[in-house]
Amino acid sequence: MEGVGLGAVAAAKAYANFDSAELATWKAGEPVPFLFLASTFEAIANQPKRLQMTQLLVTAFRTILATTPEDLLPAVYLCSNQVGQSSYLIPEMSHRHQCSVVLCSSWLTRSASCSLIRQACSSSSSM
């Protein structure tokens, strides 16, 4: 192929020969074991090369997608050090409890309890 580097061709061949059955230690449809993600994170931590780190994570995501697609989003959140969609959670909560986004965000940062945020928003809106 003209204009394409040998590294790109080799990477494309490696991705084409991917087999999720070799990596998955669980059956299709079963929840992804946390050990699978923990092992991936450990392998990434021990890898000095950035492209190899990316390849490890892509392979893990492809394995999850091939076996248990509904577990992909939680795995992405764990990789980004988040529990859920914070960018969607705060505006929704502020709308639901009729308080400002700033107030809701500050309470979420301090307490992470939806019931406490509801109480705080209720008390601030009644003032």
Separation of alpha carbons 26 and 37, rounded Å:
13
Tens digit of each residue's pLDDT (9 = 90 or more) over 29-49 = 999 999 999 999 999 999 999
pLDDT at 86 over 70: no
Threshold 0.75, pTM exceeds: no
Q: Where are the domains of the chain?
A: 6-79, 86-125
From residue 45, give the alpha-carbon distance in Å to each of 24, 42, 54: 20, 5, 11
pLDDT in tens, 100-111: 777 666 666 665
